[in-house]
Chain A
């Protein structure tokens, strides 16, 4: 199962997108019980593509909350596909696709 949940709904030619990405977003400041630091691990980049073009992109710091949430809106219509991908600082990536409702 993808780590990315997407809700995309058209409203008068504009697609409202809400997305939640499951990710620990470790700040590098937290400590394990033994006192050692938990290394930072966070999503650095997110992109949203629809119809072959990027409709939204963002870069994150470690100060974005755990399981990052993003909402934005782009010009589109019901039936369009929307693909959201992320990349984290360890190079791990994930993506998910949905059809606009």
Chain B
């Protein structure tokens, strides 16, 4: 809960960002308006990682369906053999693409599973931050409009 009290003390969003800058490695990923309420993937990456140059990598394994059964609940999973400190998911054409960013402290496996919402057919990208660089894996997930929605 330490980082929470830091954030609380800092008070405003910009102060929280300042706190992030002051503790670039020690502070865990916290929600930030600038990273999450942002329609541009590049800007979100900048906000999260201080850079947005990414390299597709076969070492990042992304599991996502070809066709989503239901756009409201799309299971996704990423794992990597790289030594990761952070993992993020982007859903390209969602109003705000960044869905989640997770911290992977030492001793924790570089793996995250969750379920996301997708408004329409688009690319899902997993971003792994490792040794100051960003590695990605992407996949297009089709979202269809149901016929027998009941």
Are any A and B Cβ atoms less than 8 Å apart in their complex? yes
A contact residues vs B (CB 8 Å cutoff): 14, 27, 29, 44-45, 47, 53-66, 68-75, 85, 87, 89
Q: Which residue of A lies closest to B115 (CB)?
A: A65
Contact B108 A73 (CB under 8 A): yes
The complex places the Cα of A27 from the Cα of B32 at a distance, in Å, of: 16
Q: Given A44-B31, A45-B30, A63-B94, does the pair A58, B115 have CB atoms closer than 8 Å?
A: no
- Interface contacts beyond A56-B104, A69-B114: sample of 14 additional A-B pairs, CB < 8 Å, sorted by A: A58-B100, A59-B31, A60-B31, A61-B96, A61-B100, A63-B117, A64-B100, A64-B114, A65-B116, A70-B114, A71-B112, A74-B107, A87-B4, A89-B31
Contact B108 A58 (CB under 8 A): no
Would you call B60 an interface residue if the criterion is a C-beta within 8 Å of the partner chain's C-beta atoms?
Answer: no
Across the interface, A61 reaches (CB within 8 A) one of B77, B98, B103, B109, namely B98
Q: Chain B, 114-131, contact with A by CB distance < 8 Å: what is the 0/1 string? A: 111110000000000000
Cβ contacts under 8 Å, A72 to chain B: 102, 108-109, 111-113
Q: Which residue of B lies closest to A14 (CB)?
A: B109
Give the distance to chain A from B79, nearest Cβ to Cβ, in Å. Answer: 9
Would you call B141 an interface residue if the criterion is a C-beta within 8 Å of the partner chain's C-beta atoms?
Answer: no
Give B39-98 interface residues, CB cut-off 8 Å to A: 72-74, 77, 91, 94-96, 98
Across the interface, B102 reaches (CB within 8 A) one of A14, A56, A66, A87, namely A56
Contact A85 B103 (CB under 8 A): no
Contact B99 A58 (CB under 8 A): no
Cβ contacts under 8 Å, A29 to chain B: 95
Cβ contacts under 8 Å, B98 to chain A: 61
Give the distance to chain A from B37, nearest Cβ to Cβ, in Å. Answer: 8
Contact B111 A53 (CB under 8 A): no
The complex places the Cα of A12 from the Cα of B108 at a distance, in Å, of: 14
Would you call B132 an interface residue if the criterion is a C-beta within 8 Å of the partner chain's C-beta atoms?
Answer: no
The complex places the Cα of A64 from the Cα of B76 at a distance, in Å, of: 11
The complex places the Cα of A64 from the Cα of B94 at a distance, in Å, of: 11
Q: Given A45-B31, A72-B111, A73-B111, does the pair A61, B104 have CB atoms closer than 8 Å?
A: no
